[in-house]
Structure 1
Amino acid sequence: MSTFDDRERAYEAKFAHDADLRFKADARRNRLLGEWAAGLLGKEGEEARSYAMSVVTADFQQPGDEDVFQKVAADLEGKADQATIRAKMAELLVEARRQVVDEAN
Structure 2
Amino acid sequence: MSTFNDRERAFESKFAHDADLRFKAEARRNRLLGEWAADLLGKTGDEARSYAMSVVSADFDEPGEEDVFRKVEADLVGHADAATIRAQMAALTTEARRQIADET
Residue 81 of structure 2 corresponds to residue 100 of structure 1: no
Letter in 2 for 1:38: A
Q: CA deviation at 1:100?
A: 0.6
Residue 72 of structure 2 corresponds to residue 72 of structure 1: yes
- Aligned equivalents of 2:35, 2:21: Cα separation in 1: 21
Residue 86 of structure 2 corresponds to residue 62 of structure 1: no
Q: Secondary structure at the match of 2:62?
A: coil
Q: CA deviation at 1:42?
A: 0.2
Q: Secondary structure at the match of 1:47?
A: helix
Q: CA deviation at 1:2?
A: 1.3
Q: Taking structure 2 as the reference length, what is the TM-score of the superposition?
A: 0.98
5+ long unaligned stretches in structure 1: none
5+ long unaligned stretches in structure 2: none
Q: Taking structure 1 as the reference length, what is the TM-score of the superposition?
A: 0.98
Runs of 4+ displaced beyond 6 Å: none
Q: CA deviation at 1:11?
A: 0.3
* Aligned length in residues: 104
- Aligned equivalents of 2:45, 2:77: Cα separation in 1: 22
